[in-house]
Chain A
Amino acid sequence: NTVMTQSPTSMFTSVGDRVTMSCKASQNVGINVGWYQQKTGQSPKRLIYWASNRDTGVPDRFTGSGSGTDFTLTISNMQAEDPAIYYCLQHNSYPYTFGAGTKLELK
């Protein structure tokens, strides 16, 4: 199975900060990666698909990048509504697998 390793596990940030989180795949997954935001009590919401394509309505402060085994989600200007758990997902090979998540909190 392809293991998706996310780091850091959690982080504290401030409004206005630039935030970068990583997702590393245990094997090449091409660009078959998405990023999901899950706020407390809600279902996950897709932010990024095909590694770097932003979903409609997602603020442009969210940027996805990478290919192969290394992927990054960047929030350029942290906002008060951004605290959540962020998950990456690979849908290149079965079984599709998610990372364990990065929990983003405000200081």
Chain B
Amino acid sequence: QVQLKESGPGLVQPSQTLSLTCTVSGFSLTSYSVHWVRQHSGKSLEWMGRMWSDGDTSYNSAFTSRLSISRDTSKSQVFLKMNSLQTEDTGTYYCVGGMGPFAYWGQGTLVTVSS
């Protein structure tokens, strides 16, 4: 069945770079998109960007040039890198993908930005 699982450091220092990995199973990255979505504690959801099936990327301009999404199709992994982290970047980060728009969600990974 389709599964997505996020992994990465739970704690990042301010001004540092966040690196997250999304490992997918049950579908091919060359057939379907994967998105990154974040959620501040107790708040709504915010779309960050997507990796298209053809390897192209689209980003939410709210993240200007801080955000980069890449992939390794041989490992079925999609990566998120975001630099210049601030405390307001604290939240749960989800990767979302599979057949159809935003069909399957990972369990999420909590990232805390703090010194």
Q: Which residues of A contact B (CB under 8 A)?
A: 32, 34, 36, 43-46, 49-50, 55, 87, 89, 91, 94-101
Contact = CB atoms under 8 A, between A and B. Distances in A.
B52 to A, nearest CB: 12
A95 B61 CA distance: 7
Given A34-B101, A49-B100, A49-B103, A44 B45 contact: yes
Sort A-B residue pairs by CB-CB distance and give the 7 closest, nearest first.
Answer: A95-B60, A96-B47, A98-B45, A43-B105, A100-B44, A91-B101, A43-B108
B60 A94 contact: yes
Nearest to B44: A100
Tier of interface size on chain B: 10 to 19
A34 B105 contact: no
Interface in B28-75: 35, 44-47, 58, 60-62
Interface of B: 35, 44-47, 58, 60-62, 94, 100-108
Contacts of A98: 44-47
- Name which of A49, A55, A94, A99 has the most chain B CB atoms within 10 A of its CB: A94
A50 B99 CA distance: 13
A50 B101 CA distance: 8
28 contacts: A34-B102, A36-B102, A43-B94, A43-B106, A43-B108, A44-B45, A44-B94, A45-B105, A46-B100, A46-B102, A46-B105, A49-B102, A49-B103, A50-B101, A55-B103, A87-B45, A89-B45, A91-B102, A94-B60, A94-B61, A95-B47, A95-B61, A95-B62, A96-B35, A97-B47, A98-B44, A98-B47, A101-B44
A37 to B, nearest CB: 11
B103 A46 contact: yes
Given A94-B60, A95-B60, A95-B61, A44 B105 contact: yes
Contacts of A36: 102
Nearest to B104: A46
A43 B107 contact: yes
A99 B44 contact: yes
B89 to A, nearest CB: 17
